[in-house]
């Protein structure tokens, strides 16, 4: 999201817009109140084996904990790992299946903005991608909320 300042005392307006945008990205209430564990899986490599591994780990966690309601999983992609969330990724069916099970796919918009600047084209992301401005900051926040960070 690109915000531009106008003549209206931008600070308060900007804070309100950022708070609204953040609330729209992630539900205010706990999406998985019965989850026994909360995991964030980091993907920062373009390697196809790593992409498959992160999807495998998410699936294995759901099985291990006895179903999607018992584990809260986010996959965050940034840097070269953002390719996992490209709309034309060959793993689209697996992403769809995991999203149905409640896995959230988080996309770093700093990476997307950088790719657009470098290539002149904005990558199209999967419909399941949840945008955050800074992927690493999102990880830090989630770890502070009790999520365990895993980098398969």
Domain at 78, CATH number: 3.40.1260.10
Number of structural domains in the chain: 1
| CA atoms of 114 and 79, how far apart (whole Å) | 9
Helix axes 48-64, 92-100, angle to 10 degrees: 20
Please provide the average confidence, as pLDDT, over all residues in the chain. 85
Among the listed residues 115, 113, 110, the one whose alpha carbon sits nearest the alpha carbon of residue 136: 110
What pLDDT, on a 0 to 100 scale, did the predictor assign at position 26?
54
What pLDDT, on a 0 to 100 scale, did the predictor assign at position 30?
75
| CA atoms of 55 and 84, how far apart (whole Å) | 10
Q: What is the pLDDT of residues 21-54, one digit of tens each?
A: 443 455 556 778 889 999 999 999 999 999 999 9
| CA atoms of 152 and 149, how far apart (whole Å) | 10
Does 66 map to a domain? yes
Q: What is the mean pLDDT of residues 111-121?
A: 97
Kindly tell me if the per-residue pLDDT of 125 is higher than 50.
yes
| CA atoms of 101 and 84, how far apart (whole Å) | 18
Q: What is the pLDDT of residues 97-111, one digit of tens each?
A: 999 999 999 999 999
Owning domain of residue 61:
35-150
Does 65 map to a domain? yes
Kindly tell me if the per-residue pLDDT of 63 is higher than 50.
yes
What pLDDT, on a 0 to 100 scale, did the predictor assign at position 19?
38
């Amino acid at each position: 999201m690109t915000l531009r300042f106008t003549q209206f005392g931008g600070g308060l307006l900007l804070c309100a817009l950022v708070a609204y945008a953040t609330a729209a990205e992630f539900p205010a209430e706990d999406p998985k109140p019965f989850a026994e564990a909360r995991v964030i899986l980091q993907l920062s490599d373009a390697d196809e084996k790593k992409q498959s591994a992160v999807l495998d780990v998410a699936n294995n966690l759901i099985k291990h904990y006895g179903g999607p309601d018992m584990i809260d999983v986010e996959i965050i992609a940034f840097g070269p790992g953002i390719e996992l969330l490209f709309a034309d990724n060959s793993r689209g069916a697996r992403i769809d299946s995991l999203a149905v099970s409640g896995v959230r796919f988080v996309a770093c918009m700093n990476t997307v903005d950088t790719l657009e600047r470098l290539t002149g084209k904005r990558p199209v992301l999967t419909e399941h991608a949840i945008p955050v401005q800074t992927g690493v900051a999102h990880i830090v926040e989630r770890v502070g909320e009790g999520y365990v960070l895993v980098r398969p």
